[in-house]
Amino acid sequence: MVRIKDIAEKAGVSIGTVDRVLHDRGEVAEKTRKKVLKIADDLQYTPNLAARTLASKKNYTISAIVPRGTVDNIFWNSHIEGIKQAINSLQPFLVSVRFYLFELNNEQEFTNCTRQLLNDGTDAVILAPVLKNEAQDFCLKLDERNIPYAFIDTYIKDTNCLAFIGEDAYQSGRIAASLIDFGLPEDKDILVVNISKNLDNTQHLNSRNQGFLSYFMDAGKNTGLKISVEIPSYSIEDIDAKLDPIFRNNPGIGAVMVSSAKTYSIARYFERRNRRDIILVGYEVFDKNVLYMKKGYIDFLIRQRPYEQGEKAVEKLFNYLAHKNVPEKKEYQPVDIVNRETLPLILN
């Protein structure tokens, strides 16, 4: 690494003179200034941004608004752990994080979190914009305050987000479709299950569904019906009430795609109905989904990398705040396709 001292020695001037030239501070003779700049360019000098950040003693606060992990869906806990790890790895830089957690699909609690965050103040925001309408309104308020923000898990277009880190939800829907299409007879019907209180407002589920259906429009062999159902919760009562009449009226269903991480709730339904004849594809690898994959009720799980999403979001925002490095707008992460044979490799 080229130091200011190296430039000073080669130019025959003091370190203070080089510092004034490079940082445009104070009067320096024009001839000396040009000489110093040329030597700096010849030596390919770059400023030590890390040292500069430490010297500034600037304390950055990054705020994260993500769904609260639960016993039935610990998926979001991985994002939080990734964020915490990234903050720890930035030491000795003065960076802290505040978490604002809301119940998944609870619009009011999400809005309360955004209001509290704006009252508290922050330098940057990590946002899981799973509630499209409310997230768009929040982004406008961040724009008004010139607060940079990065999306994780879900991308919403027509916003000024600094970066997005996550899966290509549309493409992952096509992956789910291809897995089903490979093993399903062409004339069998397919059921798409969306466990959501308001599907229209859940961006990533809609994108997965669009990708799923697009596959059969331009690449798939299956010609059976594509049936869709929206279930307001993963409770046994709600699932039974919705699925019993669908399977009774559509005996040709041979596969089910669950668009969210609550795949286990449909596997649990098949277990109670003693149905092992239906291909089941869903999302995310965590305890309950793993249990039903081991039991043989879930055939494939498509796994994101939530821990890495949290880590990279912190890194991108910090580099922007401290070093003015503007990241690429979208960083799509690869997904993992998991079945019973690859599950031990994923878990170890």
Q: Where are the domains of the chain?
A: 4-47, 57-166+306-333, 169-303
Task: DSSP letter for 261, please.
Answer: S
Handedness of CA 55, 61, 64, 68 (dihedral sign): positive
What's the mean pLDDT in 133-141? 96
Please tell me whether residue 47 adopts helix, strand or coil conformation. coil
Q: Which residues of 321-337 are buried (b: 16+ CB within 10 A; e: fewer)?
A: bbeeeebeeebeeebee
Tokens linked to 131? 């509630």
What's the mean pLDDT in 334-342? 95
Quote the pLDDT of residue 200. 84
Please tell me whether residue 317 adopts helix, strand or coil conformation. helix
Q: Which residue has the tokens 């940057």?
A: 124
Handedness of CA 160, 163, 166, 172 (dihedral sign): positive
163 pLDDT above the threshold of 70: yes
The CATH H-level (homologous superfamily) assignment of domain 57-166+306-333 is Response regulator (3.40.50.2300)
197 pLDDT above the threshold of 90: no
Fold of domain 4-47: 434 Repressor (Amino-terminal Domain) (1.10.260)
Quote the pLDDT of residue 131. 93
> How many C-beta neighbours within 10 Å does residue 13 have?
19
Residues in the chain: 348
Measure the CA–CA gap between 288 and 266, rounded to whole angstroms. Answer: 11
Cβ partners under 8 Å of residue 279, min gap 6: 180, 183, 184, 254, 255, 256, 299
User: In Å, how far are 91, 94, 147, 209 from 61, measured between CA atoms?
Assistant: 13, 9, 11, 36
Please tell me whether residue 1 adopts helix, strand or coil conformation. coil
Quote the pLDDT of residue 324. 86
Q: Are 318 and 162 in contact (CB under 8 A)?
A: no
pLDDT tens, residue by residue, 299-334: 999 999 999 999 999 999 998 998 888 999 999 999
Quote the pLDDT of residue 94. 80
- CATH architecture of the domain formed by 169-303: 3-Layer(aba) Sandwich (3.40)
Strands (DSSP E) contained in 204-252 are: 226-231
Quote the pLDDT of residue 226. 97
The answer to whether the 4-47 and 57-166+306-333 domains have the same CATH topology is: no
Mean pLDDT of the chain: 91
